Structure formats: structure tokens, C-alpha cells
Chains A and B, each alone.
Chain A
């Protein structure tokens, strides 16, 4: 990979492999987790995507995937405290929109990334699931999904095709 002096990830050797995109098209948000902060963050992300001339179904997918990821952080990674820091970096390069979300909370289970889940719908109304849709949607709507735990941080990287 190319060396990018001053790029965000260089202070963190573990993240080098994913630091492909130089900073000039980058977008960075730093905020405390929480339902209302998530709303504000999504609004900023959507605004930024629109300013890049992106729209339609792609923006809908990005907003939904990031909502699920940020909800998971509030609910699970920071389950043991009211809020915690979240960093979100987004860039577009080579027809790929890439978003990295970093938190300092509880790691995902040892089994790593939750899978696609089960999309079978029970016949009985009483048996219908009221949750567990989040990871399913994240898998469905992303081009790729990568999780890494390093130096007390969860780093989730998702990509979307944007042509």
C-alpha cells in the first residue's frame, strides 16, 4: 500500500491494512453514543453523501446499515455504561464507499461477526421475532464487512458499491 503521511490510521499499526483511502475525500465524525446522537450522525452522513452527488437506494442502504451498527454500539458495546466514544470515517474511492466505525466498548463474542441470522418467518404471530434483524440487514445491504478488535477498540469496516 501507499504511504500516506498524516493519514488517520498510521498511529495504529493494526489498522494499516485497511487504510487504503487517502484523506482528501474523507469524512470524519466523533461523538458520544446514544439514540439521539445516532440520529444526528446519520443526518450528517446522509448530508455528506448528497453533497457528493450520491442519492437514492445507496443512501437509504448506508443510512440503514449505519443505524444498525450505531444501535448495536449503544446497546451492546456500551451495555455497561451510559455512553461511550464513537468514531466514524467515510470515504469514496474506486467506485466503493467505505465506512469505518470504531468504538471502545465490549468486543463482539469470540465467534466474531454475527452471521446472516435466520430469515425464516414463523407461521404463528406469537412466535414472530421482534429483534435480531440488525445483523441480517447489515449483511444484506453491504458489499463487504470486516471486524477487527485491536488495542481495546472494535473496528467495523463496511463497504458499498457506488457507481
Chain B
């Protein structure tokens, strides 16, 4: 699995340990996300800082990862590289996710 995970301040931080989320890994990525987030109930921040390229399959896999989260459980994104951010912006999926510049910012964001 090309994802790593840790819990910090009641938030699960999942880091994508791959440089591309494209058609070759999209289906696996969605399954990895389901497996890595199972058994927790806290908010998830997906750190995409190492990902330099996503295509529409990769975008679809991230949207699918959100849709498969149990009701009420949040999936936020952090550390989008410019090319990745552009795909979210053009498709308006940047309005669907809370997108944080850094994981630290994302951790602060969730605190009431």
C-alpha cells in the first residue's frame, strides 16, 4: 500500500507515498483509502504533498474515497502541488473538499 498513516490530535493523517495518482493506480488507491481509514472515526487529512500528477482517474479515486467515508466523517486534503491543485480547481472539486496548505494548518482548522 502506497499510503502511510498516523493519528495526531484526534485527526488521522494519511500520506500518499506515490508521485502519481493516475489510471494505473486509481482503483487500488480507492481501496487503500478504504482500508487505511477503516476502524477509526476521526477526521482524515490526506497529505498529497508527494503527488506531482493526478489525472481524472486519480481525481475520481479521491472523490470516491470521500464518498465511501461513513456519514459525517470528513476527508480533507493538504499540501497540493500546483498541477494537482489545478485539476481540483478546473473541475470545481476544490469546492467539495476542505483544502489546507499544510497538514499543520489542517490540524488547526478542525479545532472548534
How extensive is the interface on chain B, given as a class? 20 to 34
Q: Is the CB of A128 within 8 A of B90?
A: no
Q: Is the CB of A35 within 8 A of B55?
A: no
One of B23, B60, B95, B96 near A74 (C-beta < 8 A): B23
Residue of B whose beta carbon sits closest to that of A141: B90
Main secondary structure of the interface of B (DSSP, over half): helix
Q: Is the CB of A60 within 8 A of B86?
A: yes
Q: Does A137 contact B (CB under 8 A)?
A: yes
- Residue in A35, A126, A133, A137 whose Cβ sees the most chain B Cβ within 10 Å: A133
Contact status of A128 and B66, CB under 8 A, knowing A64-B87, A133-B56, A137-B87: yes
Closest-CB distance, B91 to chain A (whole angstroms): 5
Main secondary structure of the interface of A (DSSP, over half): helix
Q: Does B107 contact A (CB under 8 A)?
A: no
Q: Does A5 contact B (CB under 8 A)?
A: no
Q: Does A1 contact B (CB under 8 A)?
A: no
Number of chain A residues close to chain B: CB under 8 A: 28
- Residues of B at under 8 Å CB distance from A? 20, 22-24, 53, 55-57, 59-61, 63-64, 66-67, 82-83, 86-87, 90-93, 95-96
- Residues of A at under 8 Å CB distance from B? 35-36, 38-39, 57, 60, 63-64, 67-68, 71, 74-75, 119, 121, 125-126, 128-134, 136-137, 140-141
